[in-house]
Structure 1
């Protein structure tokens, strides 16, 4: 594979509900040379997440792991995604960041983003419930520490 555009084109052709999705997405990512695994992949991945907001794609899966390897470059795009087109994977990624070592200010930023996302009009119930589970768990962990 020779470009981020080609990656995007091939990614957007995948169906995350297909039985062979995990294999196909793994093959797609493996075809990206190490030197091309950079910030240019962030936008296509979030576009894919937003196009399939209810699919877990491996929970967390190859795409989440690839994106997390680009931390913190993807953070603003993640927050934008949570505001504009919340998806299972964006919510999962925000929660995974919250599970890390963060300053009080950073933790507050991600907690607020998830609360705001939970209040998104017409948010599917499954995503709202997921956010509430993550927030409840995080609040309990923070209270215990």
Structure 2
């Protein structure tokens, strides 16, 4: 039986990186992808990235796969990167920029490099992406 989206979102909001967290995250995102209106969970999904901005949550992992299967995630990603840059968020932005060199995505990349919440590694990653994609 598929749980209600509100219940899945509640569990995403209290997600923490204790114990077998990758298994729990994988189960939650699998459930989410079966639910109607999965896009309602985007704030909670990005909330995990913002709560754990430099943690290893897969390469790209279940969280990124779930986010990328939600309609409209691109705008939500940009807002998330403005609030709290994250390593996986930067990686998703890179994937978007490879597909389409949109000015909004380029601006999001530029903002990462000057955001005081960006770690030095995130700033370096943003700079490397700009170099790879020849973005000024």
Matched residue, 1:12 = 13
Q: For each residue in 1:31-63, what CA deviation from the matched residue of structure 2 results, as whole angstroms up to 9, or x when unmatched?
A: 336242621121110111111111131021111
TM-score for the superposition, normalised by structure 2: 0.84
Match 1:136 to one of 112, 131, 135: 131
Equivalent pairs, count: 134
Matched residue, 1:80 = 79
Deviates more, 1:7-16 or 1:41-50: 7-16
Matched residue, 1:96 = 95
TM-score for the superposition, normalised by structure 1: 0.79
Q: Distance in 1 between matches of 2:44 and 2:15?
A: 12
Q: CA deviation at 1:5?
A: 2.9
Q: Distance in 2 between matches of 1:77 and 1:89?
A: 14
Q: CA deviation at 1:74?
A: 1.5
Alignment of 1:28-67 (within 5 A): 28-32=28-32, 34-36=34-36, 38-67=38-67
Q: Distance in 2 between matches of 1:56 and 1:14?
A: 14
Unaligned runs of 5+ residues in structure 1 are none
CA RMSD of superposed structures (Å) = 2.1
Q: Distance in 1 between matches of 2:19 and 2:123?
A: 26
Q: For each residue in 1:74-124, what CA deviation from the matched residue of structure 2 results, as whole angstroms up to 9, or x when unmatched?
A: 122111111121111211111111121x2x5x2x32122111111112421
